[in-house]
Chains A and B, each alone.
Chain A
Amino acid sequence: MTLRRALYALPVILIGLFAYLAWLGLAPDRDPSALPSALVGKPVPQFSLPPLDGAADKLSSADVTGHVTVLNFFASWCLPCKAEHPLLFSLGQDYGVPVYGIAFKDRPEDTAAYIKEMGSPYKKIGLDVDGRVSIDFGLTGVPETFILDKNGVVRYRLSQPLDEDTIKADIAPLLQSLQQ
């Protein structure tokens, strides 16, 4: 008899379960195109990229290990990159983290013109003309921003333009805890 009574609760439980799943899928702050990054928690991929302006030293994975760094993928042809550009300066200045840039599938002369026009928030720039290194980072587009800890482990990935809210809410606390 108690089993039968439990059966009466079943529809209620099922409706509750369904409502929960629907909420998971339809929650307003859910971005269905956001992907979990396969790289977070893993060491930064090995890379070595030619520098801008024919400078002698390449940008390599050695540059971004040993201290907390921000690695930003950008391109001169990417408008959202232009929008987040000023925030990259403030990341470098306000939080004292070196910001490195990788130009994604961009002609070197275009990257140079872009940097000349916008100024460089980057300590060093590497050119990924064929986009191969970017695939190693699991890049889906530009801009994307990675934060690496002292050991060169990827701790954070943002696959959209930086904005002040994200910096205040997520990036600043993370940088502070990593730098300690």
Chain B
Amino acid sequence: MRAVLGAIIGLMLLAAGTFVVPAGADPKDPTQDKPLADPVQESEARAFMREIRCVVCQSQSIDESDAEIAAQLRNVVREQIAAGKSEDEIRAYLTARYGDFVLMDPPFKATTLILWIGPFVLAGLGFAGALGILRRQKSAKSTPAAYAPPELSAKERARVSALLIEGDETQGGQR
């Protein structure tokens, strides 16, 4: 019994082993990822790849994408980093070919101004509006409109002062 179990486990391990063998990697295939030998450079490249959009998959970076073009661009990025190019130089290389779309963060310039500033402007307007409403409510509470003294015309004012003077004369001594 134990021997049979052992044989089965052995066979399973053997079967698993055959799956571990990598599918024939063609070194010339440009879509095959070729990590850089230097781990520092490779991690630098990987970090940079997260900022580059895969041009056929909308919202994925080339670091995440399985698309062929993404793999090819990954290798281009690696080559250029290995060649000592700066990130700005690689960015310029890519945008010359694929436009600003290839950058996950669009650059700050005239055509993208509304994209960057817009949310803050809208938030500012909303804040100003809310502040205005709150302030009005507060002032309305301290002197409610219903109890505010009505504006008097010149004629009414004259009558009021006449009445006041009259009152003063009649009960002046008591005050």
Measured CB to CB, the residues of A under 8 A from B are 32-33, 35-39, 105, 130-132, 135-141
Q: In the complex, are the beta carbons of B56 and A39 less than 8 A apart?
A: no
Q: In the complex, are the beta carbons of A137 and B97 less than 8 A apart?
A: yes
One of B35-43, B68-76, B83-91 at the interface: B68-76
Q: List 9 interface pairs A-B (beta carbons < 8 Å), by A numbering.
A: A32-B58, A35-B55, A35-B99, A39-B97, A131-B30, A132-B30, A135-B97, A138-B55, A140-B69
- In whole angstroms, what is the CA distance A131 to B28 when docked? 11
Measured CB to CB, the residues of B under 8 A from A are 28, 30-31, 55-56, 58, 68-69, 72-73, 76, 95-99, 101
- In whole angstroms, what is the CA distance A141 to B27 when docked? 22
Given A131-B72, A135-B72, A135-B76, do A141 and B97 touch, yes or no (CB 8 Å)? no
Chain A interface SS verdict (over half): loop
Tell me the minimal C-beta distance from B121 to chain A in angstroms.
14
Q: In the complex, are the beta carbons of B99 and A141 less than 8 A apart?
A: no
Q: In the complex, are the beta carbons of B56 and A141 less than 8 A apart?
A: yes
Q: Which residues of A contact B76 (CB under 8 A)?
A: 135
Q: Which residues of B contact A141 (CB under 8 A)?
A: 56, 69
Q: In the complex, are the beta carbons of A38 and B30 less than 8 A apart?
A: no
Selected from B28, B58, B69, B95, the residue in CB contact (under 8 A) with A38 is: B95
- In whole angstroms, what is the CA distance A36 to B30 when docked? 25
Q: Which of A33, A136, A138 has the most CB of B within 10 A?
A: A138
Q: Which residues of A contact B72 (CB under 8 A)?
A: 131, 135
